[in-house]
């Protein structure tokens, strides 16, 4: 796996936009799902896929606001889904499978960040539940449609925040250790990458390839909605006077580019199970500390990836 985890010189970069990535790509007849597709990075991703001809299903907790946000975009359907509710995930998947023979692109984009300690109805910590477990359940329910595509792509939105924490198999649910909202976020983002590693291994013989993505720092999305307003203001003040490129700050159009690239680029036809950033496969980051480019080795460890898959199956 580490042999695959190295840049391929894609020709793009940190300031590439989703529109630039999708140029020349034709997705007529393709079906995509984009969770969190009614705002921020997800909305920009939906626009790019639809522009290329894909039919896009956007799951949403609030149907009314999602339909308003997506109004006017061709070939887009909104359907109800709550990633924290297994029954809702099953109902969405069942409805999709009844209406569509295949699924070509699944972008697990929705997520929450730095929340206070909250638990879903099953008692699972909310960031792990929403960011990883809900998408794991959704993907496995939709697996038959992905197989029927014969050339499906799964893209999971991770983050450089995975560098905050490895996955703690001994206390993943914060039942014994002190809850730290950023370490919990980091653990969930590490889980997103490990999920891509194992999903790719399991899907490769059926033509399913999986990727994890760091979109870059995009401060204009609603991902910061659970953060303390003073904390958000302090970060934005820091970014305002700093060099945006150095800090990895991106516009929404730039932030969506890597997801769109992983979902559609022919240059990735023979690759998968890798972590990507700045519209290329990322390097392996070996330095300690947060903020360096690349993916930590623990997040692409195949043994840990298989172990997380087994844990996720047992929890769902």
Q: What does the CA dihedral 308, 309, 313, 315 come to, rounded to 10 degrees? A: 20
Report which of 105, 77, 104 is spatially closest to residue 92, judged by C-alpha positions.
77
Burial class (CB in 10 A: 0-12, 13-18, 19+), 59: buried
185 is an active site residue: yes
Percent of the chain that is helix, strand, coil (3-state, to 5): 45, 15, 40
Q: Residues 6 or more apart from 180 whose CB is under 8 A from it? A: none
Q: Which residues pair with 164 in a beta bridge?
A: none
Phi and psi (nearest 5°) for 17?
A: -105, 165
8 A C-beta contact, residue 37 and residue 109: yes
8 A C-beta contact, residue 169 and residue 311: yes
CA distances from 86 to 32, 112, 134, 137 (A): 21, 17, 7, 8
Burial class (CB in 10 A: 0-12, 13-18, 19+), 24: exposed
Three-state secondary-structure class, residue 3: coil
Terminus-to-terminus CA distance in the chain, angstroms? 27
Report which of 17, 58, 42 is spatially closest to residue 223, judged by C-alpha positions.
42
One of 12, 124, 174, 185 is an active-site residue; which one?
Answer: 185
Please give the positions annotated as active site.
185
């Amino acid at each position: 796996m580490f042999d695959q985890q190295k840049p391929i010189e894609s020709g793009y970069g940190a300031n590439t936009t989703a529109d630039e990535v999708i140029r020349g790509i034709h997705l007529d007849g393709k079906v995509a799902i984009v969770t969190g597709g009614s705002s921020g990075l997800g909305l920009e991703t939906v626009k790019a896929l639809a522009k290329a001809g894909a039919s896009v299903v956007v799951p949403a907790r609030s149907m009314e606001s999602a339909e308003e946000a997506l109004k006017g975009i061709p070939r887009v359907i909104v359907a109800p889904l709550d990633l924290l509710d297994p029954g809702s995930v099953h109902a969405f998947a069942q409805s999709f499978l009844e209406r569509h023979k295949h699924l070509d692109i699944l972008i697990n984009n929705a997520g929450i960040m730095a929340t206070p300690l909250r638990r879903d109805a099953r008692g699972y910590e909310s960031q792990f539940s929403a960011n990883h477990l809900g998408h794991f359940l959704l993907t496995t329910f939709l697996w038959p449609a992905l197989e029927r595509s014969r050339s499906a792509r799964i893209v999971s939105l991770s983050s450089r925040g995975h560098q905050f924490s490895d996955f703690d198999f001994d206390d993943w649910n914060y039942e014994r250790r002190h809850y730290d909202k950023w370490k919990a976020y980091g653990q969930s983002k590490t889980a997103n990458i490990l999920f891509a590693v194992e999903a790719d291994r399991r899907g490769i013989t059926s033509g399913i390839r999986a990727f994890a993505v760091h979109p870059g720092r995009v401060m204009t999305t609603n991902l910061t909605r659970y953060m303390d307003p003073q904390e958000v203001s302090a970060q934005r003040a820091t970014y305002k006077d700093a060099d945006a490129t150095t800090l990895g700050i991106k516009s929404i159009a730039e932030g969506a580019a890597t997801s769109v690239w992983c979902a559609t680029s022919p240059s990735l036809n023979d690759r998968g199970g890798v972590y990507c950033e700045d519209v290329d496969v990322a390097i392996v980051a070996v330095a300690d500390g947060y903020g360096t480019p690349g993916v930590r080795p623990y997040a692409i460890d195949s043994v840990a990836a298989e172990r997380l898959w087994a844990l996720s199956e047992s929890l769902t």
